[in-house]
Structure 1
């Protein structure tokens, strides 16, 4: 059963597409949406990215939108607050309310700004989801290693990412055994069990670090970790779709420049 983004990425057909091309399209989509002065372009890019992730990447629709809408809820709250507190000079007031000694109002400028920020948020989430749900993290680490992007940072990130799941699984197993022994029955037992859980994880973290250092030295570790890199060629169809996407994005940018909803 699929439980995390790495499982999704490993099963995605887009995993076998060129990593450089995917990274370029994601960065292009992020920057195009970020520098757009109209919400139309970020919405357009987001629709393209969502469609590519679900249709071509074969990502489960329920899983995708459950995660997408969960993160989008936080952005929606922030944009609503932004609509109340971002006012332009001499802007038309659309709605206001008096609460005690304060007057909260929504103006045309603040509403347009909130919609623009919301569209950029959707665009950013869609672009990041395309990359994270179609490219396993180990392939991303090996790609950055191949282009010599801060080797020590990439190696540390890979090790941290690996041991996040190791200690998460350990914590779940310890917590399950504690629950079977009624370790979380009552406030006193819950606090004591939680303390034992944290202490046990801390000890195991130190032990795993020592074991990792010993195993790396026994394998002639010289300060750099070798990465196996799987290279995928850019096919003609992939290049054509990418050029089409860039061209449509440029066209939408030109024809919707300066457009506002309100």
Structure 2
């Protein structure tokens, strides 16, 4: 998915719009959802973020896939808060000690869930419409320490290598029926993880050698487009 995100960020209707405008829009939406902290406001922010993202030409199937991971964690948070938070009147009792839904706990869970989804959708709008180099350029102008920006750039670059290695090894295992049956799948997954660790070390060494051979002096130069 990381490769798709990078491609979409460079090829959408908002790519040529000033990254500062997109950043201010995303941050403003996030601040509105966090500061006002009301369900209706969070829903409003969510709808705006979804509209802007889809209007930019982001495929809706990819967008649903992009939102699926934070939605899962948000639902887990919602369930946990609904059952274990609150001290008011009981709305539903499971019959098991401490596992009840209280009115104030449910309200807090709903509000928190909507805020998380609204904020992530706003952040997703920025990530899917703005190349990473433009985002890092804005952060550098905001006086974010250069060391953090360089680490972020290296991590972002390494992610592509990481996923390409996973895909190549998994395809090789699949062609040899490595995931046929639970026992084979369990063993193949263990082999994949162990090999991935050593492959990652090897790739990191090669990345450092390539940087040194190109005169890397300890800092990346990020320019305005």
**TM-score between the two structures when normalised by the length of structure 1:** 0.72
Cα shift readout 1:168-202 (whole Å, capped 9, x = no counterpart):
21232123223323445567765665555445434
1:215 lines up with 2:218 in the alignment: no
Task: Check 1:86–1:167 CA distance in 2 against 1; reply closer, same or farther (3 A cut).
Answer: closer
Do the aligned residues in 1 keep the contact of 2:92 with 2:102 (CA within 8 Å)? yes
- Give 1:74's aligned residue: 73
Alignment of 1:193-204 (within 5 A): 193-194=188-189, 196-204=191-199
Which has the larger Rg?
Answer: 1
Q: 1 or 2 for the larger relative contact order (CA 8 Å, sep ≥6)?
A: 1
Do the aligned residues in 2 keep the contact of 1:13 with 1:58 (CA within 8 Å)? yes
Gaps of 5+ in 1: 231-262
Do the aligned residues in 2 keep the contact of 1:9 with 1:133 (CA within 8 Å)? yes
Structure 1: distance between partners of 2:212 and 2:5: 32
Structure 1: distance between partners of 2:22 and 2:46: 15
- Give 2:148's aligned residue: 153
Gaps of 5+ in 2: none
Structure 1: distance between partners of 2:34 and 2:114: 9
Do the aligned residues in 1 keep the contact of 2:169 with 2:192 (CA within 8 Å)? yes
- Give 1:6's aligned residue: 6
What secondary structure, in the 3-state scheme, does the structure 1 residue paired with 2:36 have?
coil
- Give 2:26's aligned residue: 26
- Give 2:17's aligned residue: 17
Measured after TM superposition, the shift of residue 135 of structure 1 is: 0.9
What secondary structure, in the 3-state scheme, does the structure 1 residue paired with 2:15 have?
helix
Tell me the matched-pair count.
Answer: 225
Alignment of 1:236-247 (within 5 A): none
Task: Check 1:174–1:61 CA distance in 2 against 1; reply closer, same or farther (3 A cut).
Answer: closer
Alignment of 1:25-104 (within 5 A): 25-55=25-55, 57-88=56-87, 91-93=88-90, 95-102=91-98, 104=100
- Give 1:106's aligned residue: 102
CA RMSD of aligned residues (A): 2.9
